[in-house]
Amino acid sequence: MFEALAGKVFKAGVAGTFADIDLPAEGEQTVYSVGVAASYGSEATSPSASSNEILVGAPYALPYAESFAAATVSTKPWIKEVVSGKSSDSQWYARPDQVQDGDGGAADMTAYAAVASRWAGPKIDISGAVDPVASAWVYMPTGSMAFTLQLQKDNGEWISLKTIDNAADDWVCVSAPLCEYKSKNVRLGLLGECFGGMHFLYVDNIRVDDSTSGIGMAADAEGCEVTVINGDIEVRSACETQISVYSADGKCVSTATARYASITVSPGVYMVRAGNRTFKVAL
């Protein structure tokens, strides 16, 4: 048995038709793979075949956030999976090229031809949430791309939650409810599809929150406050700030440049962008 990402042997010399191998359930999440070879005698064996990969370790708790600050991942592991095309035709990295929340990094898919690949994130525990919601910001500046926010529950098949195709030349918020997927083992997948040629796709400020908790975590430390009072979203800032409110499907429902704004909206989940800060608000 191997630690797939590190390439280290976890356990060797296991023989027989059945093996029960204990894997660490706590600690940092790690991917394992099993190599199996048939034996024809004391010396002769067939070439080794590898099993599917197994992700074990303690899941992340809510609120979960990954903004790829400083062009690094703060939650691990993130694993590239090729859905169609050649592996060499796409890359997924944390890079500083395009940033939504001003922290110096975002997930970057670079595609060189028609290809689809997924960047699969770590396990998250949403079992105790009342109304879990996933959100991310997506930017496709060159077109000819599509993005799908996906989810995997309990090592099952990947489920498509929300897709955007050739979005406007700006950051778009993608949000999806996760109530029907409650589990201690949920993973988010960033599926990028390129329709040909060299193109780019960026994903930033990924969050999973319990929407009943109200306001999500700020993206940086600027002096700004967002609250919900009598069904209105109120934004206060120490200086004049660009304020934008987006609905769960990514549409801008209000925008202003001010130190204070009160925005009346219908019940739902919204992303509030005030300067370089981003908040999630549930009404």
- Domain edge (last residue) among 58, 80, 105: 58
Cα–Cα distances in angstroms (integers) from residue 196 to residues 90, 118, 144, 221, 264, in the given order: 11, 17, 7, 40, 43
Confidence of residue 203 (pLDDT cuts 50, 70, 90): very high
Going by their DSSP bridges, the two strands 54-56 and 30-33 should be labelled as: antiparallel
Domain annotation covers residue 141: yes
Per-residue pLDDT at 50 exceeds 60:
no
- Domain edge (last residue) among 152, 185, 210: 210
Domain annotation covers residue 78: yes
Summarize pLDDT for 172-190 with one digit per residue, the tens.
888 888 999 999 999 999 9
Q: Which domain holds residue 29?
A: 1-58
Q: Are residues 92 and 138 in the same domain?
A: yes
Mean pLDDT of 16-26: 67
CATH number at 100 reads: 2.60.120.200
- Specify burial of residue 268 (Cβ count, 10 A radius: 0-12, 13-18, 19+): middle
Q: Are residues 8 and 133 in the same domain?
A: no
Q: Which residue has the higher pLDDT, 201 or 45?
A: 201
| pLDDT recorded at residue 53 | 72
| pLDDT recorded at residue 238 | 67
Note the pTM of the prediction, 2 decimals.
0.70
Cα–Cα distances in angstroms (integers) from residue 15 to residues 18, 53, 155, in the given order: 8, 20, 27
Q: Of the segments 27-36, 41-50, 62-71, which one has the largest average pLDDT value?
A: 62-71
CATH number at 269 reads: 2.60.40.2400
User: Across all residues in the chain, what is the average pLDDT?
Assistant: 83
Confidence of residue 33 (pLDDT cuts 50, 70, 90): confident
Cβ(158)–Cβ(187) below 8 Å: no
Domain annotation covers residue 202: yes
Per-residue pLDDT at 10 exceeds 50:
yes
Least confident of 7-16, 27-36, 270-279: 7-16
Q: Are residues 73 and 177 in the same domain?
A: yes
Q: Which of 124, 134, 118, 33 is nearest to 75 (CA)?
A: 124
Rounded Cα distance, 108 and 138, in Å: 10
Least confident of 57-66, 78-87, 185-194, 223-232: 223-232
Confidence of residue 218 (pLDDT cuts 50, 70, 90): very low
Question: Within a 10 A sphere around the Cβ of 83, how many other Cβ atoms?
Answer: 14
Tokens of 259: 């130190």
| pLDDT recorded at residue 217 | 36
Confidence of residue 228 (pLDDT cuts 50, 70, 90): confident
| pLDDT recorded at residue 268 | 84
| pLDDT recorded at residue 211 | 66
Least confident of 97-106, 237-246, 258-267: 237-246
